[in-house]
Structure 1
Amino acid sequence: MTSQLPEKIVTRTVWISDIHLGYKDCKAEYLLQFLDRLECETLFLVGDIIDVWSLSRRFYWPEQHNKVISKLMTMAKHQCRVIYVPGNHDINFREFSGHIFGNIEVHRSYIHETVDKRKLLIIHGDELDSVVRFSRINKYIGDSAYDFLLFLNRWTNIIRKKFGYGYWSFAKYLKVRIKKAKKAIETFEDAAIDLAKKQQLDGVICGHIHHANIKEKDGILYCNDGDWIESCTFIAEDYHGTLAVTHWSETVQTAQMIDLAKIKRVA
């Protein structure tokens, strides 16, 4: 199934966020495939790694989620520096900022310097929620609508799998086509850029809104590493200081399509 996936991903720095362990739509299998191949100097966990909110409503913790935690702990001990910046879904861990647990460093925020000496602010992104202004009722409706969207996403992919198709993010597809959602994303991105500018930094890397993107505005770099709920994305910095977004679900899907083509040729 995965013979065409890269054996190793060697890079300087990697950012992942919004894994949401403990939530039924977490793509832990995809994440483990990626982490098993990753070799980097520093791995940033940019918030919402464990979904405490979801666990408080309904306990859900399959073996794959245990394996993700175990893998991260092993990486921190033997492979690379792991820096954890908690988000709003795992906000409980912010009280441990400045501490180290199992070789994993916990920070409220962090400033990362790239190979080419750019200084980037690392935050989860919920700090900017006040800028994207919603009333309490709109926020509730938004959360409910998002849960329903992920429900549709889940069943869309169950049907696709039945017919031999790879994973596709229905949620991501709709998000960039609904005008209000697109406007909210743009407002969030502008707020992140303004924050980096106020702190006289070269850019910002965050998560939170589940929309991976890299862009530059007014000389400030904005990076969002996306999520492992909808699109399975990460940001990597190479040894020249170049940053790029990778959609791991698309990498896996391409590999599956290649393998399927081989089977058809043999047949």
Structure 2
Amino acid sequence: MSNRIHPTAVIGEGVELGEDNVVGPYTVIVGPARIGDGNWIGPHVTIGTPGEDRNRPHPAGWDTAPTGDPDHDGHGVVIGSRNRVREYVSVHQGTWRTTTLGSDGYYLRGSHLAHDCLVGDGVTIASNVVTGGHCHIWDGANLGMGAVLHQRVVVGPGAMVGMGSAVRREVGAFTIAVGNPARVTGVNQVGLSRRGLDEETIEALGPWLKGKEALPDGGLVDRLPGDLSTLVKAWEARPRDEH
């Protein structure tokens, strides 16, 4: 299906759109950017403007085609498919890597994804969430209204961050973090149960999720349902000095 782009929207040179996307009024998308299929991008969204760095150039990308030189044009933005990007969301281009948003995410009004952020699939970023640069938000994470992430923070898969929280350190997989500064208060049992885990399995994983013990042996991880096994293994194998 063809894209539906409002006549007041600005699509800059170097922007690649897939199919069946909706782009609302007064939205500005600046290249280099690549956007997948079936995204709903609301009014007054900005995607691909320069990262907030005093020393970097700020070209008028909506007027001039990018030269393809990352030192001058930035590393751009890549967005997957089937996302809902609500009004006033902003996504900055990368400075040393591509700012990347996965698929099936819901980005609520006024949320901000800063330069060089990596965001996985199926995330929920609530209204007025602000991320610093270089953050990594894993699949299925849920950031509550008004949460603030310090630059280079990592939020694990399936983790929940409470509204108004200030996150200054890593939030582990399938944990719940709240407060200022944010602290882990428990395990996201609801999120795990929705992924098909029973109480016994959640209890067995509990010490690992809380960072107290290694992953249980005996093949438990391989028996996890769906893509959860792959996600847990990827989180366990991640480089601890990611940034």
Could you say whether these structures have the same fold, taking a TM-score greater than 0.5 normalized by the shorter chain as the test? no
More helix as a share of residues: 1
Give the number of the structure with larger relative contact order, counting CA–CA contacts within 8 Å between residues 6 or more apart. Answer: 1
Instruction: Please give the TM-score of this superposition, normalised by the length of structure 1.
Output: 0.24
